[in-house]
Amino acid sequence: MREVVFDTETTGLNPAGGDRLVEIGCVEMFNRVETGRHFHAYFNPDRLMPSEAEAVHGLSTIFLSDKPRFGERVEELLEFLGDAPLVAHNASFDFGFLNHELTLCGRPLVCMTRMVDTLVIARTRHPGAKHSLDALCTRFGVDRSQRVKHGALLDAQLLAQVYVELTGGRQIGLGLVADTQDARLADVPGTIRVREPRAPRPHHAAFEELERHRAFIAKLDNALWHRFAQAS
């Protein structure tokens, strides 16, 4: 199954109040494995960047001033997203900004049924723990040493690894198989593997072994084993 993990950076917290999306990073996954394909873009928000937001992601008004508007790259973005489920952390925030930008350029909204929220998954799997992306990276041993500031593409890449761990880890669906033929059959839906019953292995002692045992215990004084040797 194809999925897209994505993250956004913005000028603030409230699109209805005039805040805009300034960066988006998307990572493609197929059956919970990154394919290497990604989409990344910066956008000119046509407004000044508040210092509080710049402190979070480091994107300044000057840096964004020569970047394209969202509408100039919306076709590329929508083509990359396709109809895949969209995975994000605190996904209602990212969906809110994405759909706000789509509305501004006259595009259909992304249906909320496509939303997969890793924050909700984390709270269900680990109630009472910390659920920030940094905390989840630490929990699952995901290297976040390059995350000096928030960045949409880097955060999407980190989240993709966290998402795999939240949904079963790297061994999703892995079964123990006896040989390569079984491994191939395991990939065929509906296949029933029939194995021939194995003949029972002999487990009783041979006559020669019993004789050596009798000879050994005969050398022992008052050995309890004498009675068992005679009985056998």
Tell whether residue 7 is among the known ligand binding residues: yes
Handedness of CA 171, 177, 182, 185 (dihedral sign): negative
Give Rg (Cα) of the chain: 31
**Residue in 112, 119, 125 with CA at minimum distance from that of residue 85:** 112
Asked whether the whole model's pTM tops 0.85, one would answer: no
The answer to whether residues 73 and 44 touch, using CB atoms and an 8 Å cutoff, is: no
In the predicted model, is pLDDT for residue 170 greater than 70? Answer: no
Length of the chain: 232
Q: How confident is the model at residue 196 (pLDDT cuts 50, 70, 90)?
A: low
- DSSP assignment of 95-124: HHHHHHHHHHTT-PPPPGGGEEEHHHHHHH
Q: Are 77 and 101 in contact (CB under 8 A)?
A: no
Of residues 223 and 129, more confidence is placed in 129
pLDDT tens, residue by residue, 48-69: 999 999 999 999 999 999 999 9
Considering only residues 205 and 95, tell me which one the structure prediction assigns the higher pLDDT. 95
What does the pLDDT read at residue 189?
Answer: 46
Domains of the chain: 2-166 (3.30.420.10)
- Confidence at residue 232, expressed as pLDDT on a 0 to 100 scale: 52
- Does residue 164 register a pLDDT over 90? yes
| Residue 155 annotated as binding site | yes
Which residue numbers are catalytic?
150
pLDDT digits over 110-147, tens only?
999 999 999 999 999 999 999 999 999 999 999 988 87
Whose structure tokens read 């083509």? 79
* 3 state SS of 189: coil
* Tens digits of residue pLDDT in 178-195: 333 433 333 444 445 555
Interval 2-57: pLDDT, tens:
999 999 999 999 999 999 999 999 999 999 999 999 999 999 999 999 999 999 99
Distance CA 25, CA 89 (A): 13
What is the predicted pLDDT for the residue at 211? 83
pLDDT at 177 over 50: no
**40 a known binding residue?**
no
> What is d(CA 115, CA 45) in angstroms, rounded to the nearest whole number?
25
